[in-house]
């Protein structure tokens, strides 16, 4: 039997497997476990599986596997859920560090009846990858598949497209063309953005690995805020509205900070 906890950040939901005190799912089976149990008809249902473990680089470690079985470098909503769980278990304090495939990220939390987690997401890289290829400049407003596409890496790759209105049913069919375009070596998440005001945007995201729209994407919200600010469309503090709720993004010269909620839904056994 394997214990699990279901959590969500703004409707972006995850199955968490606690491996802090020992391995629960063998490494060779982590991918297939995610593919099986993320299924919303025949499994538990989730946008990904979080594995919480120990780390020799940080207070705790995080790995995340997508519903298609691939492993992602990072997940903004996922890391907040992981931190919420670790706080509840007493594994970490209000300020802590988390090791991910995108590096070690620092987090802090507060509670006003809900748990709010702020994550130092590091400095956005305005490129198709986390480390730009030699000679590669910024990827901003490039014409692709009928859209002006900008690229930024906020732990994982994102394409950002500004639109006149957010109608996900009309926009999502175009997303796979960009997601799988060979210009993105590892594929990309695709975000459609409407600028509501100088400090507020609305976002819908097609997530790589989920291969569908999710209710919210943390790294995507940071990506959209970073590109909007880079292009002079917003200030450095941006409220991001998603279908699942809001996130607050603060951009500095050194890093981007994301604050949002994380909620525990239920515990179970498989």
- Same domain? For 7 and 84 the reply is yes
Q: 237: which strand partners?
A: 250
Distance CA 190, CA 149 (A): 9
- Same domain? For 39 and 75 the reply is yes
- Same domain? For 153 and 249 the reply is yes
Q: Please, are residues 129 and 153 in contact by the beta-carbon 8 Å criterion?
A: yes
Is 135 a domain residue? no
Is 129 a domain residue? no
Whether residue 38 lies in the annotated active site: no
Q: Measuring CA to CA, how many Å separate 244 from each of 9, 12, 115, 167, 251?
A: 8, 7, 16, 15, 22
- Residue 132: pLDDT band (50, 70, 90) is confident
| DSSP secondary structure letter of residue 98 | E
Domain total of the chain? 2
Distance CA 152, CA 76 (A): 15
Find the catalytic residue in 38, 81, 217, 224: 217
Cα first-last separation, the chain? 5
Q: What is the CATH number of the domain that holds 91?
A: 3.10.310.10
- Residue 135: pLDDT band (50, 70, 90) is low
- Same domain? For 155 and 194 the reply is yes
Q: Please, are residues 200 and 241 in contact by the beta-carbon 8 Å criterion?
A: yes
- Same domain? For 95 and 40 the reply is yes
- Same domain? For 93 and 146 the reply is no
Is 9 a domain residue? yes
Helix axis angle for 76-89 and 218-230, nearest 10°, is 130
Is 153 a domain residue? yes
Q: What is the mean pLDDT of residues 185-197?
A: 96
Is 99 a domain residue? yes
Whether residue 81 lies in the annotated active site: no
What is the token pair recorded at 6?
């279901």
DSSP SS3 for 90: coil
Distance of CA 256 to the CA centre of its chain: 13
- Same domain? For 76 and 103 the reply is yes
Angle at 95 between CA 92 and CA 100, to 5 degrees: 70
pTM of the predicted structure, to 2 decimals:
0.94
Tell me which residue range forms the domain holding 75.
3-121+260-269
- Same domain? For 158 and 96 the reply is no
pLDDT above 90 for 161 = yes
- Same domain? For 156 and 205 the reply is yes
- Residue 205: pLDDT band (50, 70, 90) is very high
Is 87 a domain residue? yes
Q: 111: which strand partners?
A: 115
| Tens digit of each residue's pLDDT (9 = 90 or more) over 30-83 | 999 999 999 999 999 999 999 999 999 999 999 999 999 999 999 999 999 999
pLDDT above 80 for 202 = yes
Find the catalytic residue in 38, 75, 204, 224: 75
Is 131 a domain residue? no
- Same domain? For 8 and 111 the reply is yes
Q: At residue 234, what are phi and psi to the nearest 5 degrees? A: -140, 175
Those residues with Cβ within 8 angstroms of residue 55's Cβ, 6 or more apart along the chain or in another chain: 61, 98, 99
């Amino acid at each position: 039997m394997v214990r699990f906890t279901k959590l969500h950040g703004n409707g972006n939901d995850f199955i968490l497997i606690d491996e802090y005190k020992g391995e629960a799912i063998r490494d060779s089976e982590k991918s297939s476990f995610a593919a099986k149990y993320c299924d919303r008809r025949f499994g538990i249902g989730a946008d990904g599986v979080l594995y919480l473990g120990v780390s020799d680089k940080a207070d705790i470690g995080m790995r995340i596997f997508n519903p298609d079985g691939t492993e992602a470098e990072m997940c903004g909503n996922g890391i907040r859920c992981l931190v919420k769980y670790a706080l509840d278990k007493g594994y970490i304090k209000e300020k802590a560090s988390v090791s991910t495939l995108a590096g070690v990220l620092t987090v802090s939390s507060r509670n006003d009846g809900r748990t709010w987690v702020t994550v130092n997401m590091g400095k956005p890289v305005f490129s198709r990858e986390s480390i730009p290829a030699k000679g590669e400049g910024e990827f901003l407003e490039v014409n692709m598949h009928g859209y002006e596409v900008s690229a930024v890496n906020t732990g994982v790759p994102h394409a950002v497209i500004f639109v006149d209105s957010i109608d996900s049913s009309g926009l999502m069919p175009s997303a796979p063309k960009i997601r799988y375009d060979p210009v993105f070596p590892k594929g990309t998440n695709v975000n459609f953005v409407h600028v509501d005001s100088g400090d507020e945007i609305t976002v819908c995201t097609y997530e790589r690995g989920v291969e569908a729209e999710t209710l919210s994407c943390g790294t995507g919200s940071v990506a959209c805020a970073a590109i909007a600010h880079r292009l002079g469309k917003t200030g450095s503090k941006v409220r991001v509205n998603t279908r699942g709720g809001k996130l607050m993004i603060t951009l500095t010269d050194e890093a981007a900070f994301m604050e949002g909620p994380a909620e525990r839904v239920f515990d179970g056994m498989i």
